[in-house]
Amino acid sequence: MLYDPTSPHPFSRFVAILGRGKTKQRHLTYEEALESMRMILREEVLPEQIGAFLMLLRLKEEAPEEIAGFTQATREGLDLPASLPQVDLDWSSYAGKRIQLPWFILSVMALVSTGTRVAMHGTEGHTAGRVYTRGIIEMLGLPVAASLRQAAEQVQARGFTYIPLEVMSPVLRRLIELRPIFGLRSPVHSFTRMINPFAAPVMMQGIFHRGFMDIHAGAARLLNQPRAAVFRGEGGEIERRPNKPTQVWMTLGADEPIVETWPALLDDAHQPADEDMNPERLLAVWSGADTDPYATASVTGTLAVTLRTMGRAASTEEAEAMARELWNARDRAFLKPR
């Protein structure tokens, strides 16, 4: 789309709101965030404007209204099937793992193997030296969707689908790949976690910086998400760190957040990095051949927070007991190498 170079570009007003200086800059309103992201997704914005916009947002840090508006704009543009599948749980995976294997995948599979329908979405490759979820999903022979229509079919048939970000939005995939160019993450890394393409009633969120918990919880409230939880997960993924206390912000629709601090599950606060990061260990832990205490506690701890968020447990203690029981009852034949 061509614009008159002698007149202000229609998107310039959004950049100006963010860049007017310390005394005049402000957060975008929900409506401004919605319209600005609509323009970006329609590719009506110049590359220079996108760079300035995303980095100004990064500099001041996102507000809940901005994350909610960006998310809603993305949802509006999804190429959804005419009939949405019944999905119980939305699970995002955008960070990748660097220090520990993605044990949360076993938490998800324990739920799927016992009848919970899960839609997982994410991306990979934007940061070097990380193990990304898609590669593990493919190693396990689990379905990866090439379209949202196929994702709907997969979750109906197998109770699980993994949806790459480019399937939901090629534009956002390109924007998330700007990280090595900027040298920083951008708000795209935040709001893509909240897309929830099939409107699952329960949405889990993992973040790296604890200061973002109120932002994600606030955005979930503005989006009137029936049930959601956000916590500082290992590596930024939805994975409880069993050797440290974990603060969880849980929201129920537009109600005030419920903030709970879950105790550490292991006595040793220091867990050395996994130098090998061999994905085959996931299968060994699933089968029971590997009984590594950290891995097991990570899996059951993540399960417990999820069960509590889903409303299946009335307390943290009940959730912990239920998670151990569910893990012990898992179908060990459910996962096998491709």
Q: What is the pLDDT of residues 35-55, one digit of tens each?
A: 999 999 999 999 999 999 999
The answer to whether the CB of 133 falls within 8 A of the CB of 120 is: yes
pLDDT exceeds 80 at position 26: yes
- Calculate mean pLDDT across residues 276-302: 95
Q: What is the pLDDT of residues 59-80, one digit of tens each?
A: 988 999 999 999 999 999 999 9
The answer to whether the CB of 155 falls within 8 A of the CB of 119 is: yes
Q: What is the pLDDT of residue 209?
A: 77
| Average model confidence (pLDDT) across the chain | 94
Binning pLDDT at 50, 70 and 90, where does residue 123 land? Answer: very high
pLDDT exceeds 60 at position 1: no
Give the integer Cα–Cα distance in Å for 44 and 124.
26
Binning pLDDT at 50, 70 and 90, where does residue 28 land? Answer: very high
Binning pLDDT at 50, 70 and 90, where does residue 91 land? Answer: very high
Full DSSP string of 178-191: THHHHTS--THHHH
Q: Which amino acid is at 62?
A: E
Q: What is the pLDDT of residue 81?
A: 96
Q: What is the pLDDT of residues 239-280, one digit of tens each?
A: 999 999 999 999 999 999 999 999 999 987 778 888 889 999
Q: What is the pLDDT of residue 4?
A: 67
Give the pTM: 0.94
183 Rama class: left (phi>0) / alpha (psi -120 to 50) / beta: left
Q: Which two tokens stand for residue 160?
A: 């699980």
- Calculate mean pLDDT across residues 225-246: 96
- Calculate mean pLDDT across residues 170-180: 93
The answer to whether the CB of 40 falls within 8 A of the CB of 171 is: yes
Residue identified by tokens 């007149």 is 7
CA 3 to chain centre: 36
Smallest Cα–Cα separation from 124: which of 158, 162, 156?
162
Q: What is the pLDDT of residue 108?
A: 98
Q: What is the pLDDT of residue 3?
A: 65
pLDDT exceeds 70 at position 204: yes
Give the integer Cα–Cα distance in Å for 41 and 170.
9
Phi, psi of 91 (to 5 degrees): -135, 120
Smallest Cα–Cα separation from 206: which of 266, 263, 248?
248
Q: What is the pLDDT of residue 247?
A: 97
Binning pLDDT at 50, 70 and 90, where does residue 222 land? Answer: very high
Structural domains of the chain sorted by starting position, each given as residue range(s) with its CATH number in brackets: 12-76 (1.20.970.10), 89-328 (3.40.1030.10)
CA 237 to chain centre: 7
Full DSSP string of 160-176: EEEEEHHHH-HHHHHHH
pLDDT exceeds 70 at position 290: yes
User: Which long-range contacts link 124-130 to residues 24+ away (Cβ below 8 Å)?
Assistant: 124/96, 125/177, 126/96, 126/176, 126/177, 126/179, 126/180, 127/96, 127/179, 127/180, 128/180, 129/98, 130/95, 130/96, 130/97, 130/98, 130/235
Q: What is the pLDDT of residue 337?
A: 67
Q: What is the pLDDT of residue 8?
A: 84
The answer to whether the CB of 177 falls within 8 A of the CB of 53 is: no
Full DSSP string of 125-160: -SSTT-B-HHHHHHHTT--B-SSHHHHHHHHHHHSE
DSSP state of 97: B
